């Protein structure tokens, strides 16, 4: 089945670029089945009728100022990009990112502005990185990825493609804020649960699910 174009669906504006990138990447491959479900999943995952704070978060995302980013940093504790900007630009950046609080997974840093997150996710990654098979060239799925901090670290470890899924719209927009500056292909964070994915999709080389079990009624629930 040929995936429908964005013109045939009122996509959430933040996800139009994701749709276009995924359509191009997946339409002739083993993930093409998932493409047929994405329009409905995108709209359900970022529905203003379901999430009353979405307009405020979207305003914050839209207010992000351009930054003169230089080196992209994916293999450091603070994922982000270096660069130098004016004090006015940095204040605009700070204000926009504050509009997306609370930031849980992290930390991140953009042009010297440290996004001080609630959790030190880099500590978890440091404990995990040497205990998993090398990610070089792999397609990776991160279930319950939050704002995608670990997805960035997976990409920085050489993964060819990283797909994160999480049902919390604030986290999706936080990822989009970071991606606005990093502009890395092959990484997406999508607004859905594991149950929303197609069954029998054996196309991922590595699957992570970190910090998810204690949110489930039982470890075996699906």
Q: What is the pLDDT at residue 216?
A: 55
Cα–Cα distance measured from residue 39 to residue 16, given in angstroms and rounded to the nearest whole number: 10
Closest CA to 39 of 165, 183, 191: 191
Tokens 């899924």 correspond to what residue? 165
Q: What is the pLDDT at residue 2?
A: 45
Angle, helices 169-182 vs 149-156, to 10°: value is 40
Cα–Cα distance measured from residue 205 to residue 207, given in angstroms and rounded to the nearest whole number: 7
Q: How many residues comprise the chain?
A: 222
Query: Which residues does 35 contact at the CB level (< 8 Å), separation at least 6?
Result: 3, 22, 23, 26, 27
Per-residue pLDDT 10s for the chain (222 aa) are 444 444 345 678 889 989 999 999 999 998 998 999 999 999 999 999 889 999 999 999 999 999 998 899 999 999 999 999 999 999 999 999 999 999 999 999 999 999 999 999 999 999 999 999 999 999 999 999 999 999 999 999 999 999 999 999 999 999 999 999 999 999 999 999 988 998 888 899 999 998 655 455 665 554
Q: What is the pLDDT at residue 12?
A: 87
Tokens 């859905």 correspond to what residue? 192
Q: What is the pTM of this model?
A: 0.91
End-to-end Cα distance, the chain: 27
Burial class (CB in 10 A: 0-12, 13-18, 19+), 32: middle
pLDDT digits (tens, 9 = 90+) for 102-120: 999 999 999 999 999 999 9
Q: What is the pLDDT at residue 113?
A: 97
Q: What is the pLDDT at residue 13?
A: 87
Tokens 């004016």 correspond to what residue? 86
């Amino acid at each position: 089945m040929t995936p429908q174009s964005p013109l045939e669906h009122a996509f959430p504006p933040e996800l139009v670029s994701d749709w276009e990138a995924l359509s191009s990447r997946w339409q002739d491959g083993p993930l093409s089945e998932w493409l047929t479900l994405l329009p409905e999943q995108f709209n359900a995952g970022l529905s203003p009728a379901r999430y009353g704070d979405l307009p405020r978060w979207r305003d914050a995302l839209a207010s992000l100022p351009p930054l003169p980013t230089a080196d992209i940093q994916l293999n450091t504790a603070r994922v982000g990009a270096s660069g130098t900007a004016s004090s006015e630009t940095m204040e605009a950046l700070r204000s926009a990112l504050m509009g997306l609080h609370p930031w849980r997974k992290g930390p991140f840093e953009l042009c010297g502005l440290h996004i001080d997150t609630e959790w030190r996710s880099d500590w978890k990654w440091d404990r995990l990185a040497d205990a998993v098979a090398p990610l070089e060239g792999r397609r990776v799925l991160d279930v319950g990825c939050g704002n995608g901090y670990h997805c960035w670290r997976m990409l920085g470890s050489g993964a060819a493609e990283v797909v994160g899924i999480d049902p919390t719209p604030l986290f999706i927009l936080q990822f989009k804020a970071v991606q606005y500056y990093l502009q890395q292909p092959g990484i997406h964070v999508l607004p859905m649960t594991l149950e929303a994915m197609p069954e029998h999709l054996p196309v991922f080389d590595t699957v992570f699910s970190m910090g998810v079990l204690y949110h489930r009624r039982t470890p075996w629930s699906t």
